[in-house]
Structure 1
Amino acid sequence: MAGPPPAVAAVRVAVRAVLRSLPPDALVLVACSGGPDSTALASATAFEAPRAGRKAGLISVDHGLQEGSDRRAADVAAWGTKLGLAPSEAVRVEVGTEGGPEAAAREARYAALSSAAERNGAAAVLLGHTADDQAETVLLGLARGSGSRSLAGMAPQRGIYLRPLLAVSRGTTRAACAGESLPSWDDPHNADPAFARSRIRAVLPALEAAAGGGLVAGLARSAALLRADADLLDELAASLLGTARDECSPPEGGLDVQTLADAHRALRGRALRRWAITLGAPAGTLAATHVEALDALVTRWKGQGAVHLPLGIRVVRVRGALRRGDQVP
């Protein structure tokens, strides 16, 4: 008896490995927009979950940003039910404006997925990001000059979120949908040049061809290597941040400048970025220039004024310490 088409098999193998890492009888939810990547993921999960002794459901998030998005999400949920996924739900969210349209939609989507996982007692949520998505993320990080953490791309697992397809190409997921005659659609936002990721996506095939092939896979491998390095540096930076707080006098909310100045630049920058986030600066709007300005307060102090972070947060240097401006008498 002939097996499934190669693309279908590749997606199933990737999903199988992730399902086996979960406890027996665990429930996983597939985040499915109806696009080729998440559709292939949902179909593979519906096939593999019962064979692995796990349960599987589907959540389709309606962002309300396009005409007919509610009907599309409902159709995706109904299709999930036909696959045997339970629960299979469409969830409507309200998308704000903070951080820009992409960031606001992502925040609303993840909030809905987290809520659905908690409501249904799910052990994990499966996301359909592919190797191409990973390559785009790395290229965006390069363009923004935001350091090795951004070049580390998306993690295969972060909390309850799992990405089984990070080593699977977008071409493979499309072929899997074709091989099983699965219904899928292409979100026009993915081709909208107003979004940076869409512009990167449009030129990625040309870059792949110019590199002679292997670019997407190479960027994905680089991301995995850089992620391991970044994880270690983040641990060391967290330790440095704790020491700088402990050595600060008086300690409330400040960082000891000398402790930071004595540290390696790579750790100091990470510690300062982490501290800025704890002050309330959104991670998505915190740029390298903000961190460099904070570093200048530590290593190039000439009596300069406050550093201004997003959301109106001010940081000043006073009596050998970095402090939030509104906390300095």
Structure 2
Amino acid sequence: MTTPPEPTGGPPPYSTGGPPPYSTGGPPPRLPEGPALLEIRHAVRRWTAAHPSGDGVAVALSGGADSLALTAAAVAEAGPVHALVVDHRLQEGSDEVARRAADRALAFGCASARVLPVRVDGPGGLEAAARSARYAALDAARAGRPVLLGHTLDDQAETVLLGLARGSGPRSIAGMRDRDGPWGRPLLRVRRAVTERACGELGLQPYRDPHNLSPAFTRVRLRTEALPLLEQILGGGVAQALARTADQVREDGDVLDAVATDLRRAATTGDELDTEVLAAAPPAVRRRALREWLQVRGVSGLTDTQLRTADDLVGRWRGQGGVALGGGRRDARLVLSRRRGRLSVGFVTSQSGG
């Protein structure tokens, strides 16, 4: 088995931002051809064929099994690869974990590797704050390239279960896309166990994040308790079935979104929406058109309850007042109102009587 060499000597083999990061140059080392690593390489090959990028790709590398295996496969299949290692600084020694991951990226043959220290704070708890900080850092550092993420079929199954539990509708049940803006997910049809075996074929011991084992996090309990129990009760195949469900819901949703876009355009007059045109459409299409129009108008964080209350201004109109929405200012609320058969969005201050 051929193990990628560890970089030795010379300048630091990674960058923490600022000037262009150090790169090794030269051809990447030859990878072993075990079945797990080949499966991952084929997944990356399919993704790059469907989503070509002339300037190579970036890979979000944590040092865990999923991102390690993805990085190694990307070097072989996706052209110039630039590793981005986010240091959340939530645990003692996290800088050393990040440095080691960057070293391994260069040993695989990445064109460059950067360590991105972030500050984790903000609303929504630790998981949400860390995710927001991570994605912001990756987006800022990707230099226009797509960023490959190590989400697997198991992650997709967990996402679908979370969406079902929250009752947040088909958008959540549809799970993650293989390409969503700058984010690429080549491994959504690959099991997590395959990435573990691939690291074994590479002769590497992946980093085990303690947070990924803590029952304090809902996703961890889904992974370690709920999904194994469902597999036992239903006789296996649950993760694959949940992933297939996500694919089917997403395909249906894409069709509804296209119809809703046509409806939104037909109903839009200037900055307003014609309720008569909207009312003629089925509720599922109408709500999608309304959501799309509100997002264009600057509404953020729209909940299902808000959307349905907003839709009542069309489908259950009885002279009710406006609907307060997300995306307001400190001194004013963003409100959707109906007047003379048209919907409009505007700021309402407390002095104006709200």
The answer, yes or no, to whether TM exceeds 0.5 is yes
Residues 196, 26 of structure 1: alpha-carbon distance in 2 compared, 3 angstrom cutoff: same
* Contact in 2 for aligned 1:34/1:183 (Cα 8 Å): no
| Map of 1:11 onto structure 2 | 40
RMSD: 2.6
* Equivalent residues in 2 for 1:1-329, closer than 5 Å: 4-21=33-50, 23=52, 26-46=55-75, 48-49=76-77, 54-118=79-143, 122=145, 124-202=146-224, 203-246=226-269, 251-252=270-271, 254-283=272-301, 286-311=302-327, 312-326=333-347
Counterpart amino acid of residue 289 in structure 2: A
Q: Which has the higher helix share?
A: 1
1:31–1:38 contact (8 Å) kept in structure 2: yes
**CA 1:35–1:304 in 2, change beyond 3 Å: closer, same or farther?**
same
8 Å contact from structure 2 (residues 335, 348) kept in 1: no
Q: Which moved more, 1:136-145 or 1:90-99?
A: 90-99
User: Aligned partner of 2:268: which letter?
Assistant: R
Residue range with higher mean Cα deviation, 228-237 or 183-192 = 183-192
* Mapped partners of 1:325, 1:277: distance in 2: 13
**Cα distance between partner residues in 2 of 1:96 and 1:231:** 34
CA–CA separation in structure 2 for the residues paired with 1:244 and 1:22: 34
1:310 match: secondary structure? strand
Structure 1: 5+ residue stretches without partners: none
CA 1:144–1:175 in structure 2 vs 1: closer, same or farther (change >3 Å)? Answer: same
2:343 alignment partner, SS class: strand
Q: Distance in 1 between matches of 2:319 and 2:209?
A: 52
- 1 CA distance for matches of 2:303 and 2:216? 20
> How far apart are the structure 1 equivalents of 2:164 and 2:53?
40
| 1:162-190 Cα deviation digits (max 9, x unpaired) | 21110000111112222322231222333
Aligned counterparts of 2:319 and 2:53: Cα–Cα separation in 1: 61
1:98, 1:104 within 8 Å by CA — same for their partners in 2? yes
Q: Does the CA-based 8 Å contact 1:25-1:55 persist in structure 2? A: no
> How far apart in 1 are the matches of 2:334 and 2:193?
44
Check whether the contact 1:138–1:219 (CA below 8 A) recurs between aligned residues.
yes
Return closer, same or farther for 1:101/1:314 CA change in 2, 3 Å cut-off.
farther
The percentage of counterpart residues that share the same residue type is 47
Distance 2:53 2:85 in 1: 25
> 1:307: Cα distance to partner?
1.9
Q: In the alignment, is the contact (CA less than 8 A) between 2:160 and 2:173 conserved in 1? A: yes
Letter in 2 for 1:274: E
TM-score (norm 2): 0.80
Give the letter aligned to residue 296 of structure 2.
T
Ranges in structure 2 where 5+ consecutive residues have no aligned partner = 2-31, 328-332
Task: Report the AA paired with residue 236 of structure 2.
Answer: G
Q: How many angstroms does 1:135 deviate by? A: 0.7
Shift in alpha-carbon separation, 1:268–1:21, aligned structure 2, 3 A = closer
For 2:96, give the aligned amino acid. Answer: R
Q: Distance in 2 between matches of 1:82 and 1:190?
A: 26
2:84–2:115: 8 Å Cα contact kept in structure 1?
A: yes
Structure 1: distance between partners of 2:342 and 2:248: 35
**Cα distance in structure 2, aligned partners of 1:79 and 1:125:** 18
CA distance in 2, matches of 1:125, 1:232: 26
Q: For this pair of structures, how many residues does the alignment match?
A: 315
CA distance change for structure 1 residues 320 and 25 in 2, over 3 Å: closer, same or farther? closer
Distance change (3 Å), C-alpha of 1:110 and 1:217: same
TM-fit CA distance, 1:108: 2.7
TM-score (norm 1): 0.86
Contact persistence 1:306–1:325 (CA under 8 A) = no
Label 1:292 to 1:199 Cα distance change in 2 as closer, same or farther (>3 A).
farther
Structure 2 vs 1, CA of residues 148 and 23 (structure 1 numbering), >3 Å: closer, same or farther?
Answer: closer
Q: Distance in 2 between matches of 1:143 and 1:62?
A: 31
